[in-house]
Amino acid sequence: MVSLGDYQNKRSFDKTPEPMGSTLRSGLNRFVVQEHHASSRHFDFRLELPAEVGGLNWVLKSWAVPKGVPTEVGVKRLAIEVEDHPVDYIDFEGEIPEGQYGAGRVAIFDSGTFALLKRDAKEVEVILDGTILKGRYVLIHTGFDKGKGWLIFKAKDKE
C-alpha cells in the first residue's frame, strides 16, 4: 500500500519547491495531468480520492504514464502506479532541482473534475471533465511491473 509517508520520505523539503502535503480534501473530485520532464519524460495522472476505499485521508492517487493519457478511444497506454501525492500537489508547477527526487520541470498539461464510476483493486473508472481530457476513462490493474502496472484507456461513452 502506498502512502503519503513514501512521498515525504523521498523528498527534502528544504530543497524542493514541492508541497510537504495536506490530506484535506477540496470537496471537489479534481484530477490533474502533470507533464514531468524528469530523466525520462512522462505524464503524471492524479485523481483526488481517499487513500483507501472508504477512508478519510484524501490524497492524489497517482500513475506515471510514459506516453501520456490517450485522447482517443482505442489507444491503450501503460500507467505505472506511483506513491500517493498530497492533495495540494494538484496545483504544483515548477522546477524540481538537480539532485532531488524527480528532478526536472513539472507543468500542468490538463486539469478538471471527474465523476467516479468504479474503484476497486483491479479497476478504476471515471468520467473526466477537463479542458483536453473528456469522457469515460478506465484504468485496469495488470499487475505487471512488480504489481504497479496498469493500463489506461479512453472508453466509448455509454448509451
Interface contacts to Mn ion, rule CB under 5 A: 36, 44
Q: Measured from the CB of residue 56, what is the shortest distance to Mn ion in angstroms?
A: 26
For Mn ion, which is the closer residue by CB, 92 or 114? 92
69 touches 45 (CB < 8 A): yes
Please state the closest distance from residue 107 (CB atom) to Mn ion, in A: 11
Identity of the residue, 36 or 77, whose beta carbon is nearer to Mn ion in the bound complex = 36
For Mn ion, the closer CB: 30 or 36: 36
User: Helix/strand/coil (H, E, C) string of the chain?
Assistant: CCCHHHHHHCCCCCCCCCCCCCCCCCCCCEEEEEEEECCCCEEEEEEEEECCCCCCCEEEEEEEECCCCCCCECCEEEEEEEEEECHHHHHCCEEECCCCCCCEEEEEEEEEEEEEEEECCCEEEEEEEECCCEEEEEEEECCCCCCCEEEEEECCCCC
Residue nearest to Mn ion (CB): 36
Measured from the CB of residue 37, what is the shortest distance to Mn ion in angstroms?
A: 9
Is the Cβ of residue 10 or residue 118 nearer to Mn ion in the bound state?
A: 10
Q: How far is the CB of 48 from Mn ion (least distance, A)?
A: 17
